[in-house]
Amino acid sequence: MARRDIEFNAEGITLRGWFYPAEGAGGTAPTIVMAHGFSAVKEMYLDRYAETFAAAGLNSLVYDNRNFGTSDGEPRQEIDPWAQVRDYRHAITYATTLPEVDADRIGVFGSSYSGGHVLVVAALDRRVKAVVSQVPLVSGHDNFRTLVRSDFIDDFRAQFDADRAARFHGEKPAMVPVVDPDPLAPSALPTPDSYTWFTETHEQRAPSWRNEVTLRSVEMLTEYEPITYVPYISPTPLLMLPAQNDVLTPTDLAVAAYEKAREPKKLQFLPGGHFDAYVDGFDVSGPAARDWFVEHLTR
């Protein structure tokens, strides 16, 4: 069966995406809920994961984060991590209303920023029975300081404060590019591989992606600490998939977060850098996530 378009209510905001039925399912089946990372839309390779899961007998519910892509929400291009965490939980609730879904066998998959979200969701929501966190952001505080030179941080803080004052007086939120060809220019994700992947993927398969986010999206990132929830995921099985040479969400930060997790858990390194998980390294990342969900949701 082909995927179908879906939409659901998330506390007054309509979120939209796709539902992929499990292939060969004679009744209800396990279901994987997933959304994308920082500013990304569902067309940026989440379909690959959903197709892989469907072929293994798993339903997939894929949606665009609020304020992005086909989903509603204002202000556009704003990323509030806690709103996105709540939306994962709304998506789980919606999934349990579908006739194809076994409500007792729900998994969550997240990558990059949403790789952090699923750590939080799995710790808070016991409807989740398995979690895969791929190339995750685990500490906004520490990650920000790996991406931004220390002598630039005060300037960022001044921009945050100026934007807050402007909003108080009724002005629209300030905007900043997601990526820029110059890694020293102001952008939310100032690494060369970020610029290459976002621009190429936008051109090839995701025309709805926009190269901007609100400045306060970056401020909220610096305040977001999924690592604090990692010890509370157990007894839900956790698979973490860091990349071997991740310079966007650094490998060592992900490994440090993994070490805080309790059993059952598994760590598997993906080849290359952050964005290789979706493209050149998908033959590792896709099957790894699939096998984890099959092991823990179908037995």
> How many domains would you assign to the chain?
1
Cα–Cα distances in angstroms (integers) from residue 217 to residues 25, 163, 260, in the given order: 40, 11, 27
Q: Spell out the alpha helix ranges (H) of the chain.
A: 46-55, 81-96, 113-124, 140-147, 150-168, 192-205, 215-222, 251-260, 282-297
Say how far apart CA 215 and CA 193 lie, in whole Å: 21
102 occurs within a structural domain: yes
Report phi then psi at 127, rounded to 5: -70, -20
58 occurs within a structural domain: yes
Does residue 236 surpass a pLDDT of 80?
A: yes
pLDDT at position 116, please?
98
Tell me the pTM: 0.97
Does residue 168 surpass a pLDDT of 80?
A: yes
Give tens-digit pLDDT for 184-229. Answer: 888 999 999 999 999 999 999 999 999 999 999 999 999 999 999 9
Sheet containing 4-10: which strands, arranged edge to edge?
4-10, 13-20, 59-63, 29-34, 101-111, 128-134, 238-241, 265-267
147 occurs within a structural domain: no
Does residue 49 surpass a pLDDT of 70?
A: yes
Return the closest-CA partner of residue 133 out of 258, 235, 19: 258
User: Can you spell out the DSSP letters for 264-292?
Assistant: SEEE-PBSSSGGGGTTTTHHHHHHHHHHH
205 occurs within a structural domain: no
Q: In the chain, count H helices and then E strands.
A: 9, 10
72 occurs within a structural domain: yes
92 occurs within a structural domain: yes
pLDDT at position 299, please?
73
Does residue 1 surpass a pLDDT of 80?
A: no
Say how far apart CA 99 and CA 89 lie, in whole Å: 18
The label of the residue with tokens 């086909």 reads 70
46 occurs within a structural domain: yes
105 occurs within a structural domain: yes
CATH code of the domain in which 85 resides: 3.40.50.1820
Q: What residue numbers bound the domain in which 103 lies?
A: 4-141+225-297
Query: What rounded mean pLDDT belongs to the chain?
Result: 96
